[in-house]
């Protein structure tokens, strides 16, 4: 896609060109995503679930996100890399939030940060943008507040919820966010939000009307069994199967002594062999 940027993404929205985004958490996955031509890579705190095996994204720390972001940014040149601000790293004072945002940018070398929430975090979004750090918003089902929401439920089903989410989206745009992730939002509401904003919406479980789509690497490639069944995920490959088959074959080969074969084996020079065994 040639060096993606926030301005390019906005232009893509106005031209009706969809934005493709995928998560990645390390060097090989990011490399493959770039080679496949993805526009945006998200170092998501979903790594808590799919990489660390945790029950939620809450335990993921700033140090951990920085560690993974470093690996991803080392791997890619063209895709735009966004990293998640972890749970409770942007809810203290503005000073504390900016310090955490600064660390992630300076050490992770990403191009933007993503924060969950609407009107409640608009002032933090504004402060970040004023400091020169682009912010991607994230509303709808926000996994960092799953215990307040009461589960992984579709958002915006009733008019009260829909009104609040539309307000949130507008507040984020007003605060200077360059794009907004809509997670588990009804098709009707994400269409409305997408129409009313000048910045792109990126959907996950939010229907086809968003300006872009994002999926979690491990979900779409079947690299692990998901935490909960996800109707919105499409399977594009089953690398879990390939890996399991490959390893099982290796185990068999070791047990049957058919690996290593002659071509994998080194030999001493003849004289030395003669001396050793002669």
Q: Which stretches of the chain bind ligand KIV, using CB under 6 A? A: 23, 42, 44-46, 84, 138, 181, 183, 204, 214, 216
Torsional class of 156: left (φ above 0), alpha (ψ -120 to 50), beta (otherwise): left
> Smallest distance from the beta carbon of 152 to Na ion, in angstroms?
13
> Smallest distance from the beta carbon of 254 to ligand KIV, in angstroms?
37
> Which residue among the candidates 34, 126, 173, 183 is catalytic per the annotation?
183
Q: Does 183 bind Na ion (CB under 5 A)?
A: no
- Nearest CB to Na ion, comparing residues 145 and 238: 145
Annotated binding-site members: 45-46, 84, 114, 116
Annotated binding-site members for Mg(2+): 45, 84, 116
> Smallest distance from the beta carbon of 156 to Na ion, in angstroms?
19
Interface with Na ion (CB under 5 A), residue from 24, 26, 44, 128: 44
How crowded is residue 52: how many other Cβ atoms within 10 Å of its Cβ?
Answer: 14
Annotated binding-site members for 3-methyl-2-oxobutanoate: 45-46, 84, 114
Torsional class of 37: left (φ above 0), alpha (ψ -120 to 50), beta (otherwise): left
* 3 state SS of 246: helix
- Nearest CB to Na ion, comparing residues 142 and 186: 142
The candidate with the shortest Cα–Cα distance to 144, out of 184, 84, 98, is 84
CB 29 within 8 A of CB 216: no
The candidate with the shortest Cα–Cα distance to 25, out of 77, 80, 81, 78, is 81
Is position 183 annotated as part of the catalytic site? yes
**Contact set for Na ion, span 60-89 (CB under 5 A):** 84
- How far does CA 40 lie from the centroid of its chain? 9
Residues that bind Na ion (CB under 5 A): 44-45, 84
Active site (catalytic) residues = 183
């Amino acid at each position: 896609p040639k060096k993606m940027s926030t301005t390019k993404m906005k232009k893509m929205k106005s031209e009706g060109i969809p934005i493709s985004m995928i998560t990645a958490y390390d060097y090989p996955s990011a490399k493959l995503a770039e080679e496949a031509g993805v526009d945006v890579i998200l170092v998501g705190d979903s790594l808590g679930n799919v990489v660390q095996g945790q029950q939620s994204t809450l335990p993921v720390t700033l140090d951990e996100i920085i560690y993974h972001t470093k690996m991803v940014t080392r791997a890619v040149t063209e895709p735009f890399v966004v990293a998640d601000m972890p749970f409770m790293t942007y809810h203290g004072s503005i000073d504390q939030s900016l310090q955490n945002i600064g660390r992630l940018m300076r050490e992770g070398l990403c191009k933007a940060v993503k924060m969950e929430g609407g009107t409640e975090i608009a002032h933090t979004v504004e402060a970040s943008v004023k400091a020169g750090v682009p912010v991607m918003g994230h509303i709808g089902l926000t996994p960092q507040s799953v215990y307040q929401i009461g589960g992984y439920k579709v958002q915006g089903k009733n008019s009260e919820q829909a009104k609040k989410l539309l307000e949130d989206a507008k507040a984020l745009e007003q605060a200077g966010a360059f794009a907004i992730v809509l997670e588990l939002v009804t098709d009707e509401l994400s269409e409305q939000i997408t129409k009313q904003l000048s910045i792109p919406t990126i959907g996950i479980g939010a229907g086809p009307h968003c300006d872009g789509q994002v999926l979690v690497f491990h979900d779409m490639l079947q690299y692990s069994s998901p935490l909960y069944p996800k109707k919105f995920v499409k399977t594009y490959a089953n690398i879990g199967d390939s890996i399991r088959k490959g390893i099982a074959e290796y185990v068999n080969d070791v047990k049957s002594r058919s690996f290593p074969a002659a071509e994998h084996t080194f030999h001493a020079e003849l004289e030395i062999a003669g001396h050793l065994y002669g």
